[in-house]
Amino acid sequence: MTELETAAGTGAAGPHTPHVPLPVVVVGDANVDLVLRGDVVPRFGQAEQLADSGDLVLGGSASIAASGIARLGVPTSLVARVGADTFGTFTLDALRGCGVDVGSVEVADDEPTGLSVILSTPEDRAILTVPGTIPTLTGEQVSRVLDARSAPGLLHVASYFLQPGLARDLAGVLARARSQGWSTSLDTNWDPDEVWAGLDQVLPHLDLLLPNRNELRAIAGALGESADLDDVALAVRIAQRGPRVVVKDGADGGWSVGADGAVVRAPGVAVDVVDTTGAGDSFDAGYLAALAYGVADEGTRVRWATVAGSLSTLGSGGTGRQATPSDLERELAR
């Protein structure tokens, strides 16, 4: 038995063993990212700047998370929409190459695939996005996919604020999914409008919410919580509305808390960062893979998340260096 299987051990639920992880369905954005590194702070006035490097890679929070989960050996499918164009073909091929089932990705004949330009530095990044097909995903499409499944698993939704049609339907979709036996999770990502509306209706139907610290504070503020509270107190207030809150904490790793206020922490892995794009999505992937494998210990689940998130920064783009089972085994053994 490998270290990965040992970590899952007796945490497997029901008939599912470490060798047969639960399936994961990821819902959300599928697009391409153009990642530029170096001198990437724009200067207008027709000034030409020379960047150090640029890569066209798989993008979209949902796609990156799905790729990370699949790389860890979990059967993973994506529900999304792309265009019938070059970028759409690139996106589907990249997902297949990562082991993601794209049978539930719709291809739109008359809409372009989404595109994000990532201006990346080791410390931070800026993102410019052309939405394309990203906002056109609907709750009806998601429910059709879940209804066709013979057995439930884990349902993860990403990029809530980039998909207004899905967001309007999401509370109902999640409630129906949970009634069918699915576990549910959400990574809202950042709200470009910084309004953070609608989550009060969604939270009661979630098992997990996976924000970073900035998103945590923004969500809590929109829910009427006091900015004077610290991060843990805000997370507990949110957890009391339904989901366990699992927080990405940058170089410090991550932590999670439930409604009882007990905090579980795990450190990150010290690495020479190449690109932070998608690190939060890979964090999600590590945590959800641990759940899929039946890992019962919350500390171990958060550790899977922090290892997966940290290692993803060693490569360009969100999927260039995502963790493999052997990577995870090595770090968990330390």
The whole-chain average pLDDT of the chain stands at 92
The residues, ordered by sequence, that sit 6+ positions from 110 with a Cβ below 8 Å of its Cβ are none
Q: DSSP assignment, residue 9?
A: G
Q: What is the pLDDT of residue 19?
A: 64
Q: How many CA atoms lie within 13 A of 94 on its CB side?
A: 25
Tens of pLDDT, residue by residue over 90-109, are 999 999 999 999 999 999 99
What single-letter amino acid sits at 173?
Answer: V
Q: Where are the domains of the chain?
A: 19-38+50-332
The residues, ordered by sequence, that sit 6+ positions from 111 with a Cβ below 8 Å of its Cβ are 81, 83, 132, 133, 136
Tens of pLDDT, residue by residue over 38-52, are 999 888 998 889 999
Give the C-alpha separation, 234 to 227, whole Å: 8
Tens of pLDDT, residue by residue over 269-279, are 999 988 788 99
The residues, ordered by sequence, that sit 6+ positions from 83 with a Cβ below 8 Å of its Cβ are 107, 108, 111, 112, 113, 132, 133
Residues in the chain: 334
Tens of pLDDT, residue by residue over 113-124, are 999 998 988 778
Identify the CATH number of the domain defined by range 19-38+50-332.
3.40.1190.20
